[in-house]
């Protein structure tokens, strides 16, 4: 048996460590550990709940909008504020834009390098690449001369030693299956996606102001004025600009991302047999279609257990708890307790080894993440969970997209429960949202047309209108999955704040019953051809799109070499 340590897992935000045991070329046991503490909750106590979003927005650079959304929803829920229709539509647009952009960046810039061998692209024949590209899409950049230029550019980087994000990978590994032409096509689209994302992000500037951190959130609504006749508000011109950005997103996703996804997947169909994980899925749901409580959601909430797509359970958020038996925290009433987040505690208690260390004692506490559970069971969250719950709920557009992709790959729905299923679900969700965003822009335009310009519910703004004690929860489907914020307010100030972020659901450690979390479970059975180069482990972990920055804090790795800098 070989013991493998992957630390840090690369190409993610934050710090994640995976330990695995490999026997006869496949993983027999795995542990996921987040080795850095954050504890954002502690900084919020005693503050004005209306400001909380500005703090939570800074938890992580990858997920700024998502923590702002969850926070304002939690506070609105506590104090009873109801955002008007324009605020709902603007939020839907911001949330969907974040998701579309994030998924494209994840696929091309974080995950693709697990499947695409960049060095092999250097030996590709541009003419062959052109015929491959033309056979899967009518995208304009597909001529032999175009791919010749991309190849020359890539060669320039390699020759100058400027590999940047392409450094430190397992190039030439036997697990890479794409022919050189497919590798070159993927590298070309990696570069195009970089250009595309910096255009698309302008959508956030339109909706949230020039500052890269959106300043337009407000408890009770939004701060972005809507007025067709004002230069400084969302007006007829911004509607046109939004439409054009969404059209370009739709085009890129339909003609580049999805064809690439299917082309890559067709070479890696064996990965539909690995990485299934816990088989339980949880979705809070997202994109309210009407206003007020219990509004229907474009992506429905629900819970799936044991991969049973035939039975979508109604979500009951009172069944959510967090455990700390294997986490570096203590609970007042003992570490075998399971606490609902509204009563959650964040008391750090590090009992792990002093870094640098070779192994964690996984029989004791071994992670800074807690173990969230639903009705006592581990749950996977994220795009796959969302697509499965929607599929099982009979969502027409999701069904059409999923069945279409399964048909093209010649596999059945059981293939969804896998590493490849997770990658595919992310792409299909991107296509779904890029299609849907236009409807919300139309709704905004219609509202403007009939003089509905409200963006904010002022009625509950003044804390004197709040009860002495108020408790609320805000739920949101972030790109990476179900995000919940729980807030308790006492005499106008935050008394308690708890977040359960998607990567805590997915990357959390074993619970009090020793049941493994989704990463730990998904790694079982993963093949590992070379324990020195465990690219297969990265494939499954990256398929969840880890973002550890919210659960944890990043500091220098002990012993990491400091680069040479000039000291003044």
Partner 1 sequence: MSDAARIPLLVLGLGNVLCGDDGAGVMAIHRLRRGWEMPAGVRIVDGGTLGLDLLALLAVSDRVIIVDAVRADAAPGTLVDVTGEEVAPAVYERLSPHQIGVADLIAGASLVDRYPSEVLIVGIVPAMTDLRLGCTPDVAANLDALVDRVVAELGARGYPPVRRSVPCGPSDDGARALGL
Binding residue (CB under 8 A) for partner 1 from 202, 305, 319, 340: 202
Enumerate residues 6+ apart whose C-beta is below 8 A from 46.
493, 494
Binding residue (CB under 8 A) for partner 1 from 2, 38, 292, 398: 38
CB of 255 to partner 1, least distance (A): 20
Query: Residue 406 in 3-state DSSP?
Result: helix
Residues 199, 187: Cα–Cα separation, whole Å: 19
Helices assigned H by DSSP within 117-201: 118-121, 126-136, 144-159, 180-200
Binding residue (CB under 8 A) for partner 1 from 123, 131, 134, 162: 162
Residues 311, 313: Cα–Cα separation, whole Å: 6
Binding residue (CB under 8 A) for partner 1 from 25, 165, 356, 394: 165
CB-wise, 141 or 215, nearer to partner 1? 215
| Integer CA distances (angstroms), 405 to 74, 207, 429, in order | 37, 33, 12
Under rule CB under 8 A, residue 58 binds partner 1: yes
**Which among 11, 13, 499, 536 is annotated as catalytic?**
13
Residues 470, 490: Cα–Cα separation, whole Å: 7
Binding residue (CB under 8 A) for partner 1 from 1, 396, 558, 565: 565
CA atoms within 13 A on the CB side of 44: 31
CB-wise, 348 or 394, nearer to partner 1? 348
CB of 200 to partner 1, least distance (A): 9
For residue 363, how many other CB atoms are within 10 A of its CB? 9
Under rule CB under 8 A, residue 384 binds partner 1: no
Phi, psi of 310 (to 5 degrees): -80, -10
CA dihedral 397, 398, 400, 402 (to 10 degrees): 160
**Which among 38, 67, 88, 326 is annotated as catalytic?**
67
CB of 529 to partner 1, least distance (A): 27
Binding residue (CB under 8 A) for partner 1 from 27, 30, 60, 431: 60
Asked if residue 309 lies in contact with residue 331, where contact means CB atoms within 8 angstroms, the answer is: no
67 belongs to the catalytic site: yes
CB-wise, 40 or 424, nearer to partner 1? 40
CB of 546 to partner 1, least distance (A): 12
**How would you class 471 by CB atoms within 10 Å of its CB: exposed for 0-12, middle for 13-18, buried for 19 or more?**
middle
Query: Residue 317 in 3-state DSSP?
Result: helix
Binding residue (CB under 8 A) for partner 1 from 16, 59, 405, 420: 59
**Which among 32, 63, 91, 543 is annotated as catalytic?**
63
**Which among 480, 496, 510, 553 is annotated as catalytic?**
480
CB of 449 to partner 1, least distance (A): 31
Interface residues with partner 1 (CB under 8 A)? 11-13, 37-40, 42-43, 51, 54-55, 58-62, 64, 105, 109, 153, 157, 162, 164-165, 167, 191, 194-195, 197-199, 201-202, 211-213, 215, 549, 553-557, 560-568
**Active-site positions?**
13, 60, 63, 67, 480, 503, 547, 550
């Amino acid at each position: 048996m070989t013991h493998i340590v992957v630390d840090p897992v690369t190409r993610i935000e934050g710090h994640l460590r995976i330990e695995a045991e490999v026997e006869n070329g496949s993983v027999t046991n795995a542990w996921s550990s987040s080795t850095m503490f954050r504890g954002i909750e502690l900084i919020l106590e005693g503050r004005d709940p209306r400001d909380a979003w500005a703090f939570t927005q800074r938890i992580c650079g990858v997920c700024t909008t998502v923590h702002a959304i969850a926070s304002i929803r939690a506070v609105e829920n506590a104090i009873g504020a109801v955002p008007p229709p324009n605020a709902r539509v603007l939020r839907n647009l911001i949330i969907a834009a974040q998701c579309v952009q994030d998924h494209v960046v994840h696929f091309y810039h974080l995950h693709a390098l697990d499947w695409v061998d960049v060095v092999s692209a250097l030996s590709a024949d541009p003419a062959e690449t052109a015929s491959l590209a033309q056979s899967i899409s009518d995208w304009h950049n597909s001529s032999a001369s175009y791919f010749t230029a991309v190849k020359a550019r890539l060669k320039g980087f390699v020759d100058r030693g400027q590999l940047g994000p392409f450094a430190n990978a397992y190039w030439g590994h036997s697990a890479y299956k794409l022919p050189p032409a497919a590798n070159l096509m993927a590298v070309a689209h990696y570069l195009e996606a970089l250009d595309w994302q910096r255009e698309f992000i302008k959508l956030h500037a339109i909706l949230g102001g020039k500052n890269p951190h959106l300043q337009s959130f407000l408890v009770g609504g939004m701060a972005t004025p809507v007025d067709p006749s004002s230069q400084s508000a969302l007006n007829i011109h911004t509607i046109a600009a939004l439409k054009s950005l969404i059209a370009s997103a739709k085009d890129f996703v339909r003609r580049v991302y999805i064809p690439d996804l299917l082309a890559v997947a067709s070479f890696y169909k064996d990965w539909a047999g690995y990485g299934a994980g816990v088989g339980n899925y949880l979705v809070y749901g997202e994109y309210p279609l009407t206003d007020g409580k219990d509004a229907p959601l474009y992506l429905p909430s629900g819970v799936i257990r044991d991969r049973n797509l035939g039975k979508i359970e109604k979500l009951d958020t009172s069944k959510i708890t967090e455990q700390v038996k294997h986490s570096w925290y203590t609970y007042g009433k003992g570490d075998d307790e399971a606490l609902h987040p509204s009563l959650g505690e964040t008391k750090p208690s590090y009992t792990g080894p002093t870094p640098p260390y070779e192994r964690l004692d996984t029989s004791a506490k071994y992670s800074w993440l807690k173990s969230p559970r639903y009705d006592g069971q581990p749950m996977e969250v994220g795009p796959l969970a969302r697509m499965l719950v929607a599929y099982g709920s009979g969502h027409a557009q999701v069904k059409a997209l999923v069945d279409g992709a399964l048909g093209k790959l010649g596999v059945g729905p059981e293939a969804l429960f896998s590493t490849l299923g997770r990658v595919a679900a992310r792409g299909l969700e991107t296509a779904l949202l890029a299609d849907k965003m236009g409807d919300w822009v139309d709704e905004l335009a219609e509202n403007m047309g009939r003089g509905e310009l409200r963006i904010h519910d002022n009625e509950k703004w003044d804390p004197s209108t709040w009860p002495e004690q108020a408790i609320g929860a805000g739920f949101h489907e972030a790109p990476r999955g179900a995000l919940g914020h729980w807030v308790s307010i006492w005499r106008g100030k935050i008394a308690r704040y708890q977040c359960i972020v998607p990567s805590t659901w997915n990357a959390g450690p074993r619970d009090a019953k020793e049941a493994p979390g989704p990463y730990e479970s998904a790694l079982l059975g993963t093949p590992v051809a070379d324990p020195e180069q465990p690219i297969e482990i990265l494939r499954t972990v990256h398929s969840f799109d880890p973002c550890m920055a919210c659960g944890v804090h990043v500091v220098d790795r002990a012993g990491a070499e400091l680069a040479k800098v000039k000291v003044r």
